[in-house]
Amino acid sequence: MTTISDPAVRGSGLITGAFPSPDGDVLAIASEFSLLVNPRSRACYAGQTLRYRVALYRRGEAVPFAAFDRLRFNINDVAFHPTEPVVAIATGSYDGGYFFEGDLVLWNWIDDLHARPVAQIPEVVRCRFDESGGAVESLVRPWDEEWEGLPEPREDTAFDSLFPVRISYSGAAFAGTDSVEIELTPGTRLERAQAVAHGFAEIATANADEAESRALSWLSLPHQKLRHAIRDVGWLDDQHLAVVHDGCLLEIFDMTGDRTGAFYGEGYGAEILKSTPPCVHIVEPPPLADRYSPQRGVAKLCAISNGELTEVGSFEGEYTFSSSPSGLVLGRLNRIPAGNSTKDVLLDLAGSGEAKKIDLGHYDCFNHYIGIDGAPYLFFLQGTPQSSHEDKRLCVVQPTGDVRTQWPLLAADGTNASHAMECCGCFVGDGAGEGVVVSGRHYEPNPSRPVAAFIYRKALGADRELWRHQTDACASAVAFVPDEGLIAAAFLDGTLMLLRAADGHILFAGKARVDGVRTIIFCMDASGDRLALGTVDGRIAVVGVGELLKGLQADGWFDLA
């Protein structure tokens, strides 16, 4: 295992809060981890297990000694118990339409126990233990924006209204005792500005830059813009790796971890294409003021050659690109919303370089992404009819723009399960012939039901499965490792799986962790017998397949270290 680059604050995502213990010895860092929306023409959420985290750090140590991930909402506050290794975590948010949803969570970091002492609670904005440690005092929002206890006009006062809640605490909270019910009393209503007068921290608009600055100062780290999720990785040759994330257009690292190239400018890098020459897809979002205008930003393609980036295409709208080694590049336009653009694009980088406008049908970020790059053919997904998102088929677009249909993603049986969503895949060419591996999930209209996902291999030109497995999460990345005859698949629950490409036999299935805390592999690329990996918390690593096969721990985890 070779670590190419680590984030400055290990084990964190986008830092949203920094809360020191009363004695100043421990810092609780609250962070939020990205969803897989990269570029904006891809959206894949199903089964993601890491969204919010509270991690604990000691002074001078940028690696957490404990972390808690089992949180469902934004983290608003963290309070330390005066004598016990316990924190209270206030979480919640407005659902965007009516309700203020929340949780109050207690976490014992020594025994790694947690409890939710309240059966149901609206958004918890602030929390603290009283001086004795025998109670948790909180400020919460109303149940919803039209709650009858609010003064008129309710819609205007809901967001400025807070209600005190006091809950008894003892160590028995972690023994599975019943949760309590709470009632909000209209007569106890406070306005947001009154929180400080009642001994709580000021309630201000969340500012991630300020939270990062406080965390860096406390940890005695240089002030810098922190790197978060790695969006894509791609081998340029066997010694150089291209990387993109939200803080750059492109970075290039060698195998010693030295950064040999870095490019910055408007926008950020989203995808690395295995075209000839290799290209980076750069997203230039519209200004914030224009988010709801017909203008949807710009997608640029830049060739990576001789240590420079050279623009080869610029297209208004939100696109995702795939390429072939021959120099053909296909750009699919996200139609929801499409903005001023109306068609997909087909480029021949080895020829004239001009973009041909073609219409391959409807595209939306949940239904039509497939992400097969570097194959001898340009694959895409198309509904039936092509204006639809249903009954999707795998297709190939020819250099002329003509379409050749391969097979349906799932057999049509008239149920929701025959509708595939949040897919990705890779091309396979081996002794079993040419084929495609596809991962995705079966559509389920009830969000409370478990994720039912899949990964399978089918042959090209024949609607025939060579193998199939059920999975608990969608894949973030799938790669063929031809030197080993393996498929590597990373899933949003943190699992990395190695399967024999020919028959699908699972040789390795483990969940990734870094410095003892869980992570998710967001992107992956293969070269020889090595995998380059980029994680949701900003680590870039290279690992040999042989190392992985030997590195699985008895508890089902493996370490990216």
Mean pLDDT (10-residue bins), the chain, 561 residues: 92 95 96 89 94 96 96 96 98 92 97 94 96 96 92 83 94 84 92 85 80 94 90 97 96 96 96 96 80 73 94 94 96 82 92 91 95 98 94 96 96 90 97 97 92 97 95 98 97 98 97 95 97 97 94 88 77
Domain that holds residue 192: 10-218
Residue 292, pLDDT score? 56
Residue 386 domain-assigned (yes or no): no
The count of domains in the chain is 1
pTM metric for this prediction = 0.94
Amino acid at 423: C
Residue 66 belongs to domain with CATH number: 2.120.10
Q: What is the pLDDT of residue 352?
A: 83
pLDDT at 342: 83
Q: Which pLDDT belongs to residue 291?
A: 53
* Within a domain: 190: yes
Residue 137 lies in a domain: yes
C-alpha distances out from residue 234 to 87, 272, 475, 483, 530, Å: 41, 6, 18, 17, 12
Per-residue pLDDT, 413: 87
Looking at the domain assignment, is residue 208 inside a domain? yes
Within-domain flag for 343: no
pLDDT of 294 reads 58
The answer to whether the beta carbons of residues 105 and 119 sit under 8 Å apart is no
Whether 27 maps to a domain, the answer reads: yes
The maximal CA–CA distance of the chain, rounded, in angstroms, is 76
Which residues, 6 or more positions from 545, have their beta carbon under 8 angstroms from its beta carbon?
A: 481, 484, 486, 488, 498, 529, 530, 531
Q: Is 143 exposed, middle or buried (0-12, 13-18, 19+ CB in 10 A)?
A: buried
Q: Considering the domain boundaries, does residue 79 fall inside one?
A: yes
40 occurs within a structural domain:
yes
What does the block give as tokens for 468?
């199939």
For 308, residues 6+ apart whose C-beta sits below 8 A from its C-beta are none
